Amino acid sequence: MIEDWKHGGFGIYIHWPFCATKCPYCDFNSHVRINIDQKQWLRGYLSELKRVSKSTSNRFLDSVFFGGGTPSLIEPWVIDEILNEIQKRWKIRDNFEVTLEANPGSVDAKNFKAYKYAGVNRASMGIQSLNAKDLKALGRTHTVQEALAAFEIAKQNFTAVSFDLIYARQNQKLVHWEKELSQALDLEASHMSLYQLTIEQGTAFGDRYNRGLLKGLPNEDISADLYDVTSNLCKDRGLTAYEVSNYAQKGFESIHNLVYWRYGDYVGIGPGAHGRLTIDGKKYASETFLSPEKWLKNVEKQGSGESCLTELSKEQQAAEMVMMGLRLNEGVCCKRFENLSGYSFSKDKLTFLKSLKLIKQKKENISTTYSGRRVLNSVLAELLD
């Protein structure tokens, strides 16, 4: 029997914690700093890569993802050094994917070309809206014109380009979202991540919401209609909804995110990065220090940026595998769940969910239907109760 993580593959996530400004809806671990010593940060990343490679260097690496924050603020020579180090320490798959998240306001043609030569082959563009008024409301510093220009530059330089948009925004009407999404689809991105606006506590939007100052948010019915329009328009343009919020042309699915959703192993490097790593048959959840300064200091002084390493039980692994896997159109393997947890899904629960047309089953595989995706949390609660 193969180790369970091999069903999902192996990736490395590198977190760059800095942004030019903090968006009011963002709950990611991002910080604004005036001066950043990129040489010092490079030394920290290289040190962590060396540390984690000691237990994983015999593996084939599927992907590297530079997330943030705003990784397109990283100097291209830093990306080049990191990728050179990675290729020295791991065996690389033939379809090896290297993704860089980028904001349209922080990139130019020179940097994109340099990132390409460093080894980046996929860009994830945080455009978020093609409406000038809503861009401002979301706290974005770029204009629609800058976003479109940056997207075209990205298409000229990278094999794949992903296009992020947020919908279910304040006072957004169905007809306006349909027009905006159609405009985005006309740009012929190979991959689109389309998320409903979520109000997270601890963000500026969360504080405004608590004070009753965030008006015009859609109710559940309108949000459901927006989701339907999103799915239908993407399907009409040949983009498959391979995950709840992600749509792609065939062959352009995000390899790195599939490592997560298929519950593979991934190393998390950088402030606030999480990881899942199997060592000697045991799977561990790792966390790192949130503060950029504390993370860097610990790497330099203690030789590790990890703040916590927790062994996961087989039951925890099985639950995580299902929670991640049912987000995918392909679903999860019942036998894999049984091998991890030691027991099978309840036949009564499967029958009940199938009677509601929320899941479908094909031999050893179960997946959610379109209706099931819309109430995924309820499906998971029923299956994992």
The answer to whether 18 touches 73, Cβ cutoff 8 Å, is yes
Asked if residue 8 has pLDDT above 90, the reply is: yes
Q: Please give the structure tokens belonging to residue 131.
A: 């409406």
Q: Please give the structure tokens belonging to residue 1.
A: 């029997």
Q: What percent of the chain has pLDDT over 70?
A: 99
Distance CA(60)–CA(222), nearest Å, equals 45
Output DSSP code: residue 226.
H
Order across the sheet with 332-333: list the strands.
332-333, 365-368, 359-362
Give the list of residues 6+ apart from residue 108 with CB closer than 8 angstroms, or none.
153
**Pairing relationship of beta strands 122-128 and 91-102 according to DSSP bridges:** parallel
Distance CA(17)–CA(32), nearest Å, equals 8
Q: Please give the structure tokens belonging to residue 141.
A: 């510093």
Q: What would the pLDDT profile of 64-98 be if each residue is shown by its tens digit?
A: 999 998 999 999 999 999 999 999 999 999 999 99
Q: Average pLDDT in the 186-204 region?
A: 89
CA distances from 261 to 11, 53, 226, 255 (A): 12, 23, 24, 10
Tell me whether domains 4-260 and 314-385 share a fold. no
Q: What would the pLDDT profile of 213-244 be if each residue is shown by its tens digit?
A: 778 888 989 999 999 999 999 999 999 999 99
The answer to whether 123 touches 133, Cβ cutoff 8 Å, is no
Which residue type sits at 68?
G
| Neighbouring C-beta atoms of residue 195, cutoff 10 Å | 15
pLDDT at 62: 98
Superfamily holding 4-260: Aldolase class I (3.20.20.70)
> Phi and psi at residue 238, in whole multiples of 5°?
85, 15
CA distances from 328 to 32, 38, 125 (A): 34, 37, 22
pLDDT at 109: 67
| pTM exceeding the 0.85 threshold for the entire prediction | yes
Q: What would the pLDDT profile of 141-177 be if each residue is shown by its tens digit?
A: 889 999 999 999 999 999 999 999 999 999 999 999 9
What 3-state class would DSSP assign to 26? coil
pLDDT at 108: 67
Asked if residue 202 has pLDDT above 80, the reply is: yes
Asked if residue 211 has pLDDT above 90, the reply is: no
- Fold classification of 314-385 is Arc Repressor Mutant, subunit A (1.10.10)
More confident position, 27 or 21: 21
β-bridge mates for residue 125, sequence order:
102, 163
Residue-averaged pLDDT of the chain: 93
pLDDT at 215: 87
Distance CA(225)–CA(218), nearest Å, equals 10
Sequence spans of domains, the chain: 4-260, 314-385
Please tell me whether the peptide bond between 272 and the residue prior to it is cis, using omega within 30 degrees of 0: no
Q: Average pLDDT in the 324-352 region?
A: 96
Distance CA(356)–CA(226), nearest Å, equals 23
Which residue stretches of the chain are H helix? Answer: 38-53, 76-89, 109-118, 132-137, 144-157, 174-186, 204-210, 220-236, 255-261, 292-302, 314-325, 334-341, 347-355, 370-374, 376-384
Reported confidence tier of residue 104, pLDDT bands at 50, 70, 90: confident
Considering only CA atoms, which of 141, 138, 150 is closest in space to residue 109? Answer: 150
The answer to whether 274 touches 286, Cβ cutoff 8 Å, is yes
Q: Average pLDDT in the 126-142 region?
A: 88
Q: What would the pLDDT profile of 290-319 be if each residue is shown by its tens digit?
A: 999 999 999 999 999 999 999 999 999 999
Q: What would the pLDDT profile of 255-285 be if each residue is shown by its tens digit?
A: 999 999 999 999 999 999 999 999 999 999 9
More confident position, 50 or 28: 50
pLDDT at 79: 98
Q: Average pLDDT in the 7-22 region?
A: 94
Q: Average pLDDT in the 184-193 region?
A: 95
Considering only CA atoms, which of 107, 171, 190, 168 is closest in space to residue 141? Answer: 107
> What torsion do the CA atoms of 30, 32, 38, 41 make, to the nearest 10 degrees?
-40
